Amino acid sequence: MSRQLDNDNPTIFAPAHTSSTSRRTGSGAKALWANEALDGEDDVYLQYGAGDGGDASGSGSGSEEEREDIDAEEVYDLLRSITDPEHPVSLEALRVVNPNDIHVAGNRVLVYLTPTIPHCSMSTLIGLSLRVRLLRALPARYRVDIRIKSGTHQSEHAVNKQLNDKERVQAALENKHLLSVVEGCLATAGKRGEA
pLDDT tens-digit profile, the chain (195 residues): 445 556 655 565 556 654 443 333 333 333 333 333 334 334 443 333 333 444 434 444 445 444 578 999 999 999 999 999 998 899 999 999 999 999 999 999 999 999 989 998 899 999 999 999 999 999 999 999 999 999 999 999 999 999 999 999 999 999 999 999 999 999 998 876 555
pLDDT digits (tens, 9 = 90+) for 50-60: 334 444 344 44
Dihedral pair phi/psi, residue 155, rounded to 5°: -120, 40
Is 193 in contact with 74 (CB distance < 8 Å)? no
Assess if residue 41 is contained within a domain.
no
pLDDT digits (tens, 9 = 90+) for 104-149: 999 999 999 999 899 988 999 999 999 999 999 999 999 999 999 9
Whole-angstrom Cα distance, residue 65 to residue 56?
A: 9
- CATH code for the domain of 89: 3.30.300.130
Assess if residue 50 is contained within a domain.
no
Sheet holding 102-105, edge to edge: 102-105, 108-113, 143-148
Assess if residue 183 is contained within a domain.
yes
- Count of the separate structural domains present in the chain: 1
Please, what is the end-to-end C-alpha distance for the chain in angstroms? 29
Assess if residue 49 is contained within a domain.
no
Q: Which domain holds residue 184?
A: 70-195
Bridge-based pairing state of the strands 102-105 and 108-113: antiparallel
Q: What is the pTM of this model?
A: 0.70
Assess if residue 110 is contained within a domain.
yes
Assess if residue 176 is contained within a domain.
yes
Assess if residue 48 is contained within a domain.
no
